[in-house]
Structure 1
Amino acid sequence: MPRSAGHLIVATLETAGIERVYAVPGESYLDVLDGLYDSPIDTIVCRQEGGAGFMALAEARLTGRPGIAMVTRGPGAANAMISIHTAWQDATALVLFVGLVPTADRARESFQEFSLPEWFSSTAKRVITIDDEHRAGELTAEALRIAAAGRSGPVVVGLPEDVLVRLTEAPIPTLAEAAEPKPAPAELESLAARLAGASRPAFVLGGDGWQSGAGADLAGLAAASGIPIFCDWRAYDAVPHDSPAWSGWLGYGRADAVAGGFAEADLLIFIGCTRSDVASDGFTIGFGAETVLVSLDTEATQHAGRIDQHILASPGTFTEALTSVDADALRGGRSDGWMEERSAAQARFAAHRPDAEAQPPTEATQTPRSGVDLGVAFGILDDRLSGEAILTYGAGNATIWGHRFIRHHQAASLVGARNGAMGLAVPAAVAASLTFPDRRAVAICGDGDFLMNGQEIATAFAHGATPLIIVIDNGVYATIVSHQENHYPGRPSGTRMVNPDFATWMRAFDGAASVGAGVSGHGERVETTEDFAPALDRALAADGPALIHVLIDPATMPPAADETS
């Protein structure tokens, strides 16, 4: 029976097991929206295309399936670009469908017209335009396959308005199945010999692909073999933090001891990630070690420096293969001293402590800093979450306390923009809550980050998501302020902000209709350290979305990178 190309696209997504699409509607892809009307796929109506893209990215990060976003024409595609850049640099599978002008209107500077390939070709794995209605299903399946293959990333699919409504009898395509490659026995033998012969080996885990819990299995083997595990920036949910092998993360906000251990290692095994500028402190450390790269990316994109062995495998298939090797064969003559030293240093770094112990009064007034002590607050938050929540982060100094003090004991419990994009925290927490409604989703964001996509609180109410959002408010772009103080001391420029009462904004949604029930927004403003714990407990007990607006001194900077401050 004939169906429209737009309906065939939806049927293909259903066959692929897609559960949600994140969309800002547009007249250019009305037929796809019509196909979603009767579909089991849940259409999450977002308030801005950047938020839609970030939600799709978050679901992909948490589930391992490509995230799906839908936007329309030039303005919508422009707003969604930030999520494409993030998915490209973060190597996360994302498919962005973009409604386009009718084919007869092309190259005539028609309303909202733009060039899809010229905009996206440098930051997407593939840019596809569906010009043939009979190939609509085939090309949709191809986009899903390419996004997830090898080094995962974004694929952009153009949907000309007139092509979508054309009828076709093309069948729903069968999605290609491909087993992930596994290490060959000879590769494992070579790797085992390298590990047995090393005095100071270290695993470095990162990227996507740890959702199955393979990191816990690898951590067990690492602990039995005396091998510390470092994680890449914002990928440290790959391994449980109560593992004896857990030794901290590399990149922004890391402990000096972690960087020192990374630099001291004589064998580095990167699994799912690379030796990037972030991990190597700007290409300055970790280059002298013998290096093994475990990756599905044959081109080793983003990896700098030597590669002595490249094993084509996913985190899951590599872990399954390596854990079949006896731990003693990997240990050689090595004691646990190297691993225990690294693990203990991270434990000291992550121990809860007040900021007041490390940050003196302001020089101008010699009075204590005003507002909430974030060292205390995040210690309380860590205790309440117990390592079980999903944490989402945008960018900015406000995130560093969460990275340092909040434990992760479950895989797929962290979504952060590894490319440093602002505005991800709120939409990612909404998507996390929708994807895993039985788990707590907590967004950690600064005031600047929140206001970039805070509108997606409306999406949470509309679709029954219940994230907890913690907004750290210092009235400045603090990361930039810290750079200015280093390079242009005493000359702040372009970094001040004026903010609303974010708690009042959340409460303004009282009575908003969500799917299934009407819920109220819980919002509280916290100005003292003593008030944080009771406010947090009330927010955690709320039955709908909740927000805590935390006021801190503008002069407050993240805790130092040494172990004790």
Structure 2
Amino acid sequence: MTTTAAAATIDLLSAAGVRRFYTVPGESFLELMDEVAARPELELISTRHESGAAFMAEAEGKLTGRPAVAMATRAVGATNLAIGVHTAHQDSTPMLVLLGQVETDHLGKEAFQEVDLPRFFGQLSTFAATVHRSDRAADTVARALQAATSGRPGPAVVAFPSDVLGRPGQPAAPRLPARPTPLANAGQVAAAAELLRSARRPVAIVGEGAQDGHDVLTRLAERYGIGVYSAFRRQDTFPNSHPNYLGHLTLGTLPDLLQPLREADVVLVLGSRLDEVTTQTYSVPVAGSQVIQVDEDPRTLGSVVPLALGVVAQPVGFAAALAVHPGAPAAHPGAPTDPTTDWSAAHRRYLELSDPAAGHEAAENGVHPTDVMAALRRHLGTDTVVTNDAGNFSVFGHRYWRFERPRTQVAPISGAMGYAVPAAVGVALAAPERRVLALAGDGGFLMTGQELETAARYGAEPLVVVFQNTLYGTIAMHQARSMGRTGGIDIGRVDLAGFARSLGAATRGVDDERHLDDALRELDAESGPRVLVVQTDPDVLTPTTRLSGLMGAPA
């Protein structure tokens, strides 16, 4: 059977389970948009900016584990998409990027809006290609889909010259599963069991590759008496209330929370590439710790620290085999028999530090961000999916929100500003039955807040909380610490509630913590996207840092 290249491509993606295509429409891929719009099982989501489209697709992939599609036109659209593609790459998120390109005869001439797209995206993607023959279009996308979901997942990019999509194409079948999932090797399971059984202070770091493993990971931790850390912005990989949970390896993790990791004799790394933040600028695991790293991508193993054991396997499957291995010690759930693996004091310290009601120094000019998190904890349940932007305000979200269920945190390891709002829209569209909370600073909100219009148009209902302190707090903190002065960090006191309201959102503004609960209750009664703008104290940079204190310190 012969069809068009565009139809064959969309047939393939529909059969593979792709459901949403996020885009800013462009003239170079008209046939792709037309094919998506014509199919009732698919959604074509028109966004306000390509970065929003890319963040939405990335967030859906992060939530579901299945790729969504971001589409854009030529160089101008593709470069706008790049921030979301970079996020998908650093966060190991499956994602497909379909791009329009100049006509085949114009390639290589620097035609209107032309750039070599595979070359441009080469470092940001797991696969990048240009389709030169219409009969191979669907097969090229099948290979891209395979690459996006194989080993370490990531973004795969395919460019279509605009004259290719309407020409005759050939159907292609999805190449899924991409390759057999690596299974736990009996010898490696036995070796890991022996290392953990003989360890005095075993610790685990669980990351993006260990999603959906709560039951398995808790059994493993209890069986071997392992203390568990979550990798950066992967707090939902292990239930935070579990007595073996030790905390989140985030920006500026407090020293007393890190002490168990520094003292660990064996460190089991499950599904984390040990990024810079997780390793606290590559300072942990410390020299002398025996590290076991388990990942589906062999390129990840040993790339950051030397290993006692490197295992190419699906991390949760390996953990399941390890938990039932005959060499595992017989420990009672939550209370290991060996007192050296009693993590109760460390877990208690985590609970104390993550309690927003524990008290703090009063804010003098606006609401203290800790009080915002306390109100959100009172108002929302643990089934809420939380998205967040980059910025100092996010430290309060990471510290005070406790994640008890898998796939409830959608946050950028890449540290991209502008992520929270479009990510929340993508999550709400992909899972309309879920409650979605976005945490944003005014800097990030002013970058992508226009995607509230997208949310309103498609009936998505995220709750967006904006911490408005009128400055780029992270940069102010670094400037104050290193230079003793600030510059270029001011943000105007924009009427963010009015801006959000003009885009179709219900809004409330709060400048006194006593009004937080009422505002949240009122917003809960509204439909569509909802925005709470909180005037927060610009002096309060983190739970432990004030700008005035840094400015008064010697440079």
Q: TM-score by structure 1 length?
A: 0.92
**Residue aligning to 1:447:** 442
Compute the displacement of 1:538 (Å): 1.5
Structure 1 position 349 matched with structure 2 position 350: no
Structure 2 residue identity aligned to 1:236: Q
Compute the displacement of 1:441 (Å): 0.5
State the alpha-carbon separation in 1 of the partners of residues 220 and 269 from structure 2.
16
Structure 1 position 494 matched with structure 2 position 468: no
Compute the displacement of 1:86 (Å): 1.2
**Residue aligning to 2:477:** 482
Structure-to-structure mapping, 1:100-179, within 5 angstroms: 100-168=101-169, 170-177=170-177, 178-179=179-180
SS in structure 1 at match of 2:70: strand
**Residue aligning to 1:2:** 2
**Residue aligning to 1:182:** 183
Whether the aligned pair in 1 keeps the contact of 2:196 and 2:202 (CA below 8 Å) is yes
State the alpha-carbon separation in 2 of the partners of residues 388 and 156 from structure 1.
33
Q: CA 1:301/1:549 → structure 2, altered by over 3 Å: closer, same or farther?
A: farther
SS in structure 2 at match of 1:149: coil
Q: CA 1:111/1:370 → structure 2, altered by over 3 Å: closer, same or farther?
A: same
Structure 1 position 85 matched with structure 2 position 86: yes
Q: 1:548 aligns with which of 510, 532, 550?
A: 532
**Residue aligning to 2:198:** 197
Whether the aligned pair in 2 keeps the contact of 1:354 and 1:375 (CA below 8 Å) is no
Q: Deviations over 1:460-503 (max 9, x none)?
A: 011111000000011000000011110111x2101011142111
Structure 2 residue runs without a partner (length 5+): 546-555
Structure 1 residue runs without a partner (length 5+): 360-367, 511-520
Whether the aligned pair in 2 keeps the contact of 1:448 and 1:477 (CA below 8 Å) is yes
Structure 1 residue identity aligned to 2:85: I
State the alpha-carbon separation in 2 of the partners of residues 262 and 276 from structure 1.
16
Q: 1:524 aligns with which of 508, 515, 529?
A: 508
State the alpha-carbon separation in 2 of the partners of residues 327 and 413 from structure 1.
34
Structure 2 residue identity aligned to 1:555: D
Whether the aligned pair in 2 keeps the contact of 1:264 and 1:286 (CA below 8 Å) is no
Whether the aligned pair in 1 keeps the contact of 2:210 and 2:270 (CA below 8 Å) is no
Identity of aligned residues (%): 31
Compute the displacement of 1:182 (Å): 1.5
Q: Deviations over 1:103-142 (max 9, x none)?
A: 1112222111111123111221221111111111111111
Compute the displacement of 1:238 (Å): 0.7
Q: CA 1:354/1:190 → structure 2, altered by over 3 Å: closer, same or farther?
A: closer
Whether the aligned pair in 1 keeps the contact of 2:449 and 2:500 (CA below 8 Å) is no
State the alpha-carbon separation in 2 of the partners of residues 330 and 179 from structure 1.
32
RMSD over aligned Cα atoms: 1.9
Whether the aligned pair in 2 keeps the contact of 1:378 and 1:401 (CA below 8 Å) is yes
State the alpha-carbon separation in 1 of the partners of residues 70 and 209 from structure 2.
19
SS in structure 2 at match of 1:164: coil
Compute the displacement of 1:260 (Å): 1.6
State the alpha-carbon separation in 1 of the partners of residues 301 and 60 from structure 2.
24
State the alpha-carbon separation in 1 of the partners of residues 274 and 51 from structure 2.
29
Structure 2 residue identity aligned to 1:530: R
**Residue aligning to 1:14:** 14
Compute the displacement of 1:281 (Å): 1.6
State the alpha-carbon separation in 1 of the partners of residues 432 and 147 from structure 2.
29
Whether the aligned pair in 2 keeps the contact of 1:4 and 1:164 (CA below 8 Å) is yes
State the alpha-carbon separation in 1 of the partners of residues 186 and 358 from structure 2.
50
Compute the displacement of 1:444 (Å): 0.2
State the alpha-carbon separation in 2 of the partners of residues 320 and 281 from structure 1.
28
Q: CA 1:541/1:315 → structure 2, altered by over 3 Å: closer, same or farther?
A: farther
Whether the aligned pair in 1 keeps the contact of 2:201 and 2:340 (CA below 8 Å) is no
Whether the aligned pair in 2 keeps the contact of 1:524 and 1:549 (CA below 8 Å) is yes
Compute the displacement of 1:215 (Å): 2.3
Structure 1 position 461 matched with structure 2 position 452: no
Whether the aligned pair in 1 keeps the contact of 2:29 and 2:73 (CA below 8 Å) is yes
State the alpha-carbon separation in 1 of the partners of residues 433 and 174 from structure 2.
32
Structure 1 residue identity aligned to 2:502: A
Select between 380-389 and 219-228 the one with higher mean Cα deviation: 219-228
SS in structure 2 at match of 1:242: coil
**Residue aligning to 2:37:** 37
Compute the displacement of 1:208 (Å): 4.2
Structure 2 residue identity aligned to 1:240: P
State the alpha-carbon separation in 1 of the partners of residues 301 and 266 from structure 2.
20
Structure-to-structure mapping, 1:253-332, within 5 angstroms: 253-288=252-287, 289-300=289-300, 303-325=303-325, 329=329
Compute the displacement of 1:354 (Å): 6.5
Structure 1 residue identity aligned to 2:496: F
Q: Deviations over 1:292-332 (max 9, x none)?
A: 00101111178411111111122332233223236952769
**Residue aligning to 2:55:** 54
Q: CA 1:302/1:464 → structure 2, altered by over 3 Å: closer, same or farther?
A: farther
Compute the displacement of 1:251 (Å): 2.3
**Residue aligning to 1:417:** 412
State the alpha-carbon separation in 1 of the partners of residues 180 and 525 from structure 2.
44
Whether the aligned pair in 2 keeps the contact of 1:262 and 1:286 (CA below 8 Å) is yes
Structure 1 position 504 matched with structure 2 position 503: no
